[in-house]
Chains A and B, each alone.
Chain A
Amino acid sequence: MLKAFSNYKALNIYALYFHIGETEKKCFIEEIPDETMVIGKYRTQLWDKQTGSFLPATPGLGMHVEIKDPDTKIILSRQYGSDGRFTFTSHTPGEHQICLHSNSTKMALFAGGKLRVHLDIQVGEHTNNYPEIAAKDKLTELQLRARQLLDQVEQIQKEQNYQRYREERFRMTSESTNQRVLWWSIAQTLILIVTGIWQMKHLKSFFEAKKLV
């Protein structure tokens, strides 16, 4: 019974999956406010040509996880096994990039293998494990529900704060475009007038020198 349960649980956990090539790199973008925790869990299976199916667990096959912050600075670059769990907390708001690729050493041409990657990324409030929190802090059901609501509201607050920051950036970009359009239009009109005048003056003096006018 336990085996059946664990099999079923193993099937259902990290439910969503996709296929990637053995040497392919797959990236996901998470746009998050600052001080937000992100937990990622993955499980990989390798395509077995002989049995024509995906092997349940492949020892020795690892995944390299690389996470970049909005300034494209690498905040996490680690190798994990075929089943892994990575976690990070953002310190700057913005687009973080989570990239996964297998540590297969074969060349791209020869590595015809396919990998099945089960992935589950939870952000912010979803990272909290409420049954665990209830057991640890010994909360009643009402207290736990209140705690969950507090976490949700905190996430909404953080997102609103991040929205204000994004709107400020957008406004600065628009104002910069406005300034640039204004100054470059004036500059180009001036250049046009100046080159026109120079052309006429130069040609006039040239033709006078050639005694054609």
Chain B
Amino acid sequence: MGDWKTITVPVLSSDSKNILPYTSERKRSPTSMNSHVLRLSLPSSKNMHSFFSAFCTEDNIEQSISYIDRELTTLGFPSIYAESKGKELNLIAIINCMNELLALQHKNLRAQEEVEMQHLKLGSDMDHLQNCYAKLKEQLELSKREIVGLQERDRQLQSKNRNLHQLLKNEKDEVQKLQNIISSRATQYNHDMKRKEREYNKLKERLHQLVMNKKDKKLAMEVLNYVGRADGKRGAWRTDKTEARNEEEMYKVLLSEYEQRQGQLLLENAELKKVLQQMKKDIISLLPPQKQKPKERSEDGLVLSDQEEDTGELNKENMWEVSCETVREQLTNSIRKQWRMLKNHVEKLDNQVSRGHSGSLNEKDVISREDHELETEKLELEIQQCKEMIKTQQQLLQQQLTCDDDTTLLLQDCYLLEERERLQEEWRLFREQKKNFEKERKSFTEAAIRLGLERKAFEEDRGAWLKHQFLSMTADCKSENVTTPSAFLRCKYLVQVMFLHNSDPDIHLVKPASRQRKPHLVWSPPVSPEPCQISQYITQNSVASEKPAADNMPNLWVESDDKEETE
């Protein structure tokens, strides 16, 4: 293909500047496609007309047409001439060619646009990348500088550290030196002090001698009269005996002190041993019984049984009285072992509880969480109730205790009044009852009197009737000359009747008064011995049987008996 840029179009000289700079520009910018891109751009509207008219004028129509035909054929289009080497133009061909050219133009434009877009994108990408690169370079620079700075600081710190170590060492050395100095000075001072002290002692001795000498001349103590000793004893001479006694006294004092202390320590020891024993028992009781699972816990079980045997033996031995080394060790060792077992047990329980919390199924002796919660709720409720009860009771107590005096007095008065009224009520009842009893008593006495009178009258009537009967009978007998046995029998019968009748009317009379008694009244002196006895017995009976009945009654009957007897 020809070099498109070297189109020499004579008429385009004025516009060549427009086109050429474009194309040359395009050539400069590097693209990846590496193809010569023709940028076809329509010139500005100003030049449009001149451009269109510049190529083909009236003079060179044929030339232009042939040129165009040549170009088109080289492009691959069909010739615009109707026939080859003819002058007539194939209009259809021309139009087709124009259409093709337009389509091509459009396609090219589109391609150009695409290319431009891509170009722009690539350009911006490149910009972006360049910026990134620049930033990274900056960062790298910064980091490098930082590293350098840190290294510098590190170096400084290390040097400082070294300096400080050095200083410390120096200080330690100085301290050691000073201590040495101090000790040496101390020894020096001590030596000097001792020297001075010796000198001073010498002076004191000298002074002492002088003072003693002078003292002999003057009496140092004058006292009106000597006072007796505080404990009344006389002074003793200083002898070996007294010295020995002093020693003895001193040792006695010391020994008593030691014995006292030993006693206290023994007591303490005994108490502590008791406490340890108690602790051991408690620990054993806390541990779960090991006997059910002998296989798994055989060693523990054995150990426990050993322990139990030990405790049994030791208890038998009265541990707190034996205080030898081995027994003490045994006790402490056994407690340690059991404490360890208890600890293990508690840890196991803890693990179980934690496993239970995590939700997995547990052995039956672990309480499920819900049950546990229910129980705790129940217990809480109980506690609440108890607390409320306690509160109410406390309030009541408070009320009782912290009432003012007035209210307490009032309360007490109220109580007293209540009691008083109650008592009064009772008294009233009592008095009523008493009155009733009195009335009854009166009525009974009246009744008894009436009864007595009636009886008397009745007896008299009976006596009269019997007499009459007897008389009539005897009269009949006399008149009828009836044999004495029948008359005697009749008499006997009469006597019996009389006797029997003695009892009946009394019974009839007495019954309304009381149910329980069967008193018997003496009727007449002739029939006295048996009835008397009977009456005695019956009065005794009546007296005896009176007790459940009303109080006044036996008196009444005894009185009436007496009355009757006296009659």
A-B interaction: no
